[in-house]
Amino acid sequence: LESVRTATTVRVRNGKVSITDGPFAETKEQLAGFYLIDARDLNEAIQIAAKIPPARVGSIEVRPIRQLAGSNRVAQAR
């Protein structure tokens, strides 16, 4: 993943989507897992993140995947 500086945080409360630039605001929140999605751009990624159930009670942090230098391929975990 790219640095947390690239993060957009998505929350859904009472059916309304709230987005915040940056990572989780509180240090007590931490990464508990991740979803790997394929989205055209940040706006589509936010729309997808808003549909993930934990967004209704917590938050979803959206970050791009780091690109390999000199390549259009994304870095893959091994």
pLDDT in tens, 53-73: 999 998 999 999 887 777 665
Give the start-end residues of each E strand in the chain: 8-13, 16-21, 60-62
- The per-residue pLDDT for range 11-37, each reduced to its tens digit, is 999 999 999 997 666 656 666 788 999
- The domain limits of the chain are 4-62
Measured CA to CA, the distance from residue 39 to residue 18 in angstroms comes to 19
Q: What is the pTM of this model?
A: 0.74
Distances in Å between the alpha carbon of 17 and those of 13, 24, 44, 53? 7, 16, 13, 12
Q: In the chain, what's the furthest Cα-to-Cα distance?
A: 44
